[in-house]
């Protein structure tokens, strides 16, 4: 947190102007917030910004609005090593520069790295055009840097843990599919449906069929379920013929639905067997030690099993 510093690294007193023009102070949540005009070239980028791309048409449109109606909301900055660093408002800063304006209205707040990372994530989660991979990468970076669990981040951001878990699992997909997802060629729902497929080449081929045949998410899930069923039959050496199908014990629609839901959550083949008395077992399949560790981590996370909820 610390005390604001001037450009020489000296503490700034409450009555001191931090530069960039006249400023004023106000109280916000018990902490002093200073509002002032800063030169745009004095503001450093936010190192925790999850957004990778900014739509140039949106920036141009916002720049035109700034020239016609002036700036309605200040950007937020903090002081790091005697220099101003952006906390939030990068679109406004870019638009201000695009408009040819030399200064921008800003509020200076005290914030540590962790808070800045949280504010950057929250700001971008509220924008619909932030793609799922950018969100997932921002979650992963935060968890890695602050050595915390998904539950901890969910509490700090006031969002459901399943939202974080489902987005981060997308990062397990091949790079080719992540590129399609970022480009908007397939949706996050399509991508999640591909996770239970263990073969990357099959995942990529299936993604191609999604685009070629304009499959819905439901159609994709049905196709993946059929692939998994065929794989299971091949592994057990059972041939699919009508006589064999009739001899098998039928699976109720409710059990089949739960199996499919859990396949989507765990990203692997799941079998549920239940007796008439309501007793039974759940079997999770894994193909190698890495997949076993991934499943173990999911089950052990915060000592709780994952909630059976797929975020939209």
**Active-site residues: which are they?**
90
Tell me the helices (H) and strands (E) count for the chain, helix number first: 13, 8
How far is it, in rounded angstroms, from Cα 312 to Cα 159? 13
| ∠ CA 214-216-220, rounded to 5° | 100
Contact (Cβ atoms closer than 8 angstroms) between residue 70 and residue 40: no
Q: Taking the C-alpha atoms of 29, 34, 38 and 42 in order, what is their torsion angle to the nearest 10 degrees?
A: -70
Query: What contacts 60, CB < 8 A, 6 or more positions away?
Result: 95, 98
Contact (Cβ atoms closer than 8 angstroms) between residue 268 and residue 258: no
Q: What are phi and psi of 24, to 5 degrees?
A: -140, 165
Q: What are phi and psi of 249, to 5 degrees?
A: -70, 125
């Amino acid at each position: 947190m610390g005390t604001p510093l001037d450009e020489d690294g000296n503490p700034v007193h409450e009555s001191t102007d931090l530069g960039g023009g006249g400023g004023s102070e106000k109280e916000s949540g018990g902490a002093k917030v200073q509002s002032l005009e800063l030169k745009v070239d004095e503001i450093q980028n936010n190192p925790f910004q999850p957004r990778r791309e900014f739509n140039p048409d949106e920036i141009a449109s916002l720049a035109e609005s700034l020239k016609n109606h002036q700036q309605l909301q200040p950007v937020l900055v903090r002081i790091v090593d005697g220099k101003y660093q952006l906390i939030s408002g990068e679109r406004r800063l870019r638009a201000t520069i695009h408009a040819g304006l030399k200064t921008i209205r800003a509020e200076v707040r005290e914030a540590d790295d962790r808070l800045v990372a949280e504010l950057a994530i929250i700001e971008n989660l509220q924008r619909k055009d932030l793609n799922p991979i950018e969100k997932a990468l921002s979650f992963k970076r935060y968890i890695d840097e602050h050595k915390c669990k998904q539950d901890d981040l969910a509490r700090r951001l006031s969002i459901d843990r399943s939202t974080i878990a489902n987005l981060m699992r997308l990062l397990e997909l091949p790079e080719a599919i992540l590129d399609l997802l970022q480009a908007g060629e397939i949706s996050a729902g399509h991508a999640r449906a591909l996770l239970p497929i263990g073969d990357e080449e099959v995942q990529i081929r299936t993604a191609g069929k999604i685009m070629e045949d304009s499959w819905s998410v439901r159609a994709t899930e049905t196709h993946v379920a059929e692939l998994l069923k065929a794989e299971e039959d091949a592994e057990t050496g059972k041939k699919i013929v009508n006589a064999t199908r009739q001899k098998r014990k039928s699976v109720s629609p409710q059990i089949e639905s739960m199996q499919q839901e859990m396949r989507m959550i765990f990203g692997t083949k799941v079998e549920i067997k239940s007796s008439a008395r309501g007793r039974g077992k759940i079997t999770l399949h894994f193909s190698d030690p890495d997949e076993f560790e991934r499943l173990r981590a999911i089950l052990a996370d915060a000592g709780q099993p994952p909630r059976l909820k797929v975020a939209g």
